[in-house]
Amino acid sequence: MAVRDVAVLVGSLRKGSFTRLAAKAAMGLAPPSLSPSLVEIRDLPLYDQDLDERPPGEWRVFRDRIRRADAVLFFTPEYNRSVPGVLKNAIDVGSRPYGSSVWEGKPAGVVSVSPGAMGAFGANHHLRQSLVFLNMPAMAQPEAYLGGAADLFDGDGALKSESTREFLSKYLAAFERWAALHARR
């Protein structure tokens, strides 16, 4: 059985963010054929085309890590009906310089997380617009909106909702099939 390297990007920097907790919970529920690992985006300098000729070391490390990945899972909160700037910056850093995108063709999944009832619906769909342009086949079904996130975790940050655990397990099983279907040959 092939084990697929899955880069996991979290659009929230706060250590105890619900989005980060959801990503960690999901990583623990991944089937054996997926090897998810968190790719930190906190220290990526802002994308500036003037730096493309001599990219900062953080950009090079990030681009190399995404290039090695077989698939990408994005976990995002919603800021003003969109994705946080730090996540958009990571997408921009990986997509440049023009013609050298590290995202090209990588199967992707999007999980949006919010304490609100809508589960960051706006951010989820806004992120998908970028993925279309990046030529990343984004899994359409099942969709993953985790609303009411403030009630999903216990005081230690562990997932306490059995129905959410079951949902994430099914989501990851579907993503496993999606990644296999769209694996680079």
Number of domains forming the structure of the chain: 1
How far is Cα 1 from Cα 21, in angstroms, rounded to an integer?
29
How far is Cα 98 from Cα 85, in angstroms, rounded to an integer?
20
Which one-letter DSSP state was computed for residue 38?
E
pLDDT at 154 (0 to 100): 92
Sheet of 71-76, strand order: 34-38, 4-10, 71-76, 108-113, 144-146
Give the torsion sign (CA, 121, 122, 127, 131).
Answer: positive
pLDDT at 185 (0 to 100): 59
7-25 per-position pLDDT tens digit: 999 999 998 899 999 999 9
Which one-letter DSSP state was computed for residue 101?
-
Which one-letter DSSP state was computed for residue 113?
E
CATH code of residue 113: 3.40.50.360
pLDDT at 53 (0 to 100): 93
| Model confidence, pTM | 0.96
Write down the mean pLDDT value for the chain.
Answer: 94
Instruction: Determine the structural domain holding residue 149 and report its residue range.
Output: 4-181
Which is more confidently placed, 47 or 120?
47
Q: What is the mean pLDDT of residues 91-120?
A: 93
pLDDT at 1 (0 to 100): 65
Strand partners, 7: 37, 72
How far is Cα 128 from Cα 139, in angstroms, rounded to an integer?
9
How many CB atoms sit inside 10 A of residue 50's CB?
6
